C-alpha cells in the first residue's frame, strides 16, 4: 500500500483484501460483470447459483448444508442468522464470548459486548469467558482446561433457562479475534457445541474474521475443531473488498423462515458481488493461498516466539495460519497487560512502513492478520521490524 505521499506500507493487518490489494483477477471479474449486468436476485442468474454451489461444496458434508443466502456485510449475515435462529427455535436467548464482536445492526450490536456502552447489558444475551489459557480462569497448564471453558457454555445456558430465556443460538468466532486471538484447541468447540445442542439451541460459526482460508490448513476456521455448526456466516474477505456476505445452513432451519418473512436483499447476491466472490475462491485455489497461509503463518508464529527470547514484554504468542496474536505484558510474572506499549509498537511499526492492529479486552495484543499472499520474505521483513520496534521502545 502507498499513502498520499507515496510512502509504501506492508499491510499485515487487513483480512478484507484476502487475496491481496487490487488483485487483477478480482477487479477484472467485477469490471466485466458490471459492464454486462448488475441486477438483483428477483431475476434468475447463474452467478448466485454457482457461488452457492461452490460455497456449499466447501463445507464438511456432515454439516448437511444445502442453502445459501446472500447479503452485503458480516453484520447483515449475523443479523439474518440471528433472525433464523429465533424463528426456528421460537426462543430469544443468545450466548457470545465476553469480548465478542458480531456486527453493527441493532440485533448484532447486542451480540457484540466489545462495543457495548458502559453499563449496557441486554437481558437476552449471556456472556461466556473467551477460552484464554494465558490469563483466564483456567490455565493452559491445567489438564482439560479447554473443555472446562467449553463447559462454561452449559453453565450459562442453565442460568439463562433459570431466568426464563432459553437458548436460541450461540455465536462464535472460532479464532476469538476480538477476545485477543485465542484459537483454542478442539476440545473447546466440542464441549461448547455439546452444551448448545443439549439445550436445543443453534451454533452459529462466524467466519467473517478467520474464514476463507486464514487458518491455512482449513477453509473455515470451525473446521480446525472438527465440529459441524448449524449456521455459518461469512463476510469481510469474501469479495476482497466488494461488499458481499453470506449465510450457509440447512434447508430445515431456513426454509420456513424464508417463506414466512419473504426474505430478500436487493444487493445481496447480485451478479457483480458473486463474480467478485467467485474470483476470490478461484485465486485462493489457483495460487495455493491456504498452503501459503499454513507455511508462512508457521514461520511467522515461530519467529514471534523467538523474539520473546530477547523481549520480555512478549508475554504470550498465539495463533493459527496467518492470524497471530502477540500479547504484551509489563511483567512476565504478574502478566499485567502492556496496553500503552502495544499502541507504541503499532505506531512504531507504522512509522517503519508496517501495518498491524491491536485487539483484546486490554488492547495489549498485537494483531497480525495480513492478506494471504503474505510471503516468507514479507514475514521476515515484519519480524525484523517488530524486533527493531520492540528494541527501540525498551526504556
Interaction site with its own copies (CB under 8 A):
1, 14, 16-17, 21-22, 24, 26-27, 30-31, 34-40, 71-76, 79-80, 82-83, 86, 104-107, 109, 115, 117, 235-236, 240-244, 260-268, 270, 272-273
Cell 449486468 belongs to residue? 37
Q: Which of 30, 382 has the CB closer to its own copies?
A: 30
Q: Which of 6, 143 has the CB closer to its own copies?
A: 6
Within 10 angstroms of residue 262's Cβ, the number of other Cβ atoms is 6
Q: Which of 27, 56 has the CB closer to its own copies?
A: 27
Write down the least CB distance from residue 61 to its own copies, Å: 30
Write down the least CB distance from residue 104 to its own copies, Å: 6
Q: Which of 81, 284 has the CB closer to its own copies?
A: 81
Q: Please report which residue ranges of 163-288 form alpha helices under DSSP H.
A: 186-198, 251-261, 271-286
Write down the least CB distance from residue 359 to its own copies, Å: 13
Contact 270, 38 (CB under 8 A): yes
- Residue 234's SS3 state is strand
Write down the least CB distance from residue 347 to its own copies, Å: 14
- Of 390, 196, 351, the C-alpha closest to 205 is 196
Write down the least CB distance from residue 233 to its own copies, Å: 13
Write down the least CB distance from residue 40 to its own copies, Å: 7
Within 10 angstroms of residue 235's Cβ, the number of other Cβ atoms is 27
Contacts of 281 (CB under 8 A, 6+ apart): 54, 55, 58
- Of 66, 87, 49, the C-alpha closest to 261 is 87
Round to whole Å and give the CA distance between 247 and 71.
8
Cross-strand pairs, 11: 355
Q: Which of 189, 346 has the CB closer to its own copies?
A: 346
Amino acid at each position: 500500500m502507498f499513502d498520499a505521499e507515496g510512502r509504501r506500507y506492508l499491510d499485515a493487518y487487513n483480512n478484507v483484501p484476502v487475496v491481496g490489494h487490487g488483485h487483477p483477477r478480482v477487479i477484472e471479474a467485477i469490471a466485466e460483470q458490471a459492464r454486462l449486468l448488475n441486477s438483483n436476485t428477483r431475476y434468475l442468474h447463474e452467478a448466485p447459483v454457482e457461488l452457492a454451489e461452490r460455497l456449499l461444496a466447501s463445507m464438511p458434508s456432515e454439516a448437511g448444508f444445502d442453502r445459501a443466502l446472500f447479503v452485503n456485510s458480516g453484520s447483515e449475515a449475523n443479523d439474518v442468522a440471528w433472525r433464523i435462529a429465533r424463528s426456528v427455535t421460537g426462543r430469544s436467548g443468545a450466548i457470545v464470548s465476553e469480548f465478542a464482536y458480531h456486527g453493527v445492526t441493532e440485533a448484532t450490536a447486542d451480540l457484540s459486548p466489545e462495543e457495548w456502552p458502559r453499563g449496557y447489558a441486554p437481558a437476552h444475551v449471556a456472556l461466556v469467558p473467551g477460552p484464554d489459557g494465558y490469563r483466564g480462569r483456567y490455565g493452559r497448564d491445567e489438564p482439560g482446561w479447554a473443555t472446562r471453558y467449553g463447559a462454561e457454555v452449559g453453565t450459562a445456558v442453565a442460568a439463562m433457562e433459570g431466568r426464563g430465556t432459553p437458548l436460541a443460538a450461540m455465536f462464535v468466532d472460532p479464532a476469538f479475534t476480538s477476545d485477543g486471538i485465542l484459537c483454542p484447541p478442539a476440545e473447546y468447540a466440542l464441549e461448547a457445541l455439546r452444551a448448545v445442542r443439549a439445550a436445543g439451541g443453534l451454533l452459529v460459526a462466524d467466519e467473517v474474521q478467520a474464514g476463507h482460508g486464514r487458518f491455512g490448513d482449513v477453509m473455515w476456521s470451525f473446521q480446525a475443531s472438527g465440529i459441524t455448526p448449524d449456521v455459518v456466516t461469512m463476510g469481510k474477505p469474501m469479495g476482497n473488498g466488494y461488499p458481499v456476505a453470506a449465510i450457509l445452513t440447512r434447508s430445515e432451519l431456513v426454509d420456513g423462515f424464508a417463506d414466512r418473512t419473504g426474505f430478500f436483499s436487493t444487493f445481496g447476491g447480485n451478479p457483480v458481488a458473486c463474480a467478485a466472490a467467485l474470483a476470490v475462491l478461484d485465486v485462493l485455489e489457483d495460487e495455493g493461498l491456504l498452503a501459503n497461509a499454513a507455511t508462512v503463518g508457521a514461520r511467522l508464529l515461530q519467529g514471534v516466539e523467538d523474539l520473546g527470547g530477547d523481549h520480555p514484554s512478549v508475554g504470550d504468542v498465539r495463533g493459527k495460519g496467518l492470524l497471530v496474536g502477540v500479547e504484551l505484558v509489563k511483567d512476565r510474572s504478574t502478566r499485567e497487560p502492556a496496553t500503552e506499549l502495544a499502541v507504541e509498537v503499532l505506531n512504531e511499526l507504522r512509522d517503519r512502513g508496517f501495518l498491524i492492529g491491536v485487539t483484546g479486552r486490554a488492547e495489549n495484543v498485537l494483531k497480525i492478520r495480513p492478506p494471504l499472499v503474505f510471503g516468507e520474505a514479507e514475514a521476515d521483513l515484519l519480524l525484523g521490524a517488530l524486533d527493531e520496534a520492540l528494541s527501540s521502545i525498551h526504556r
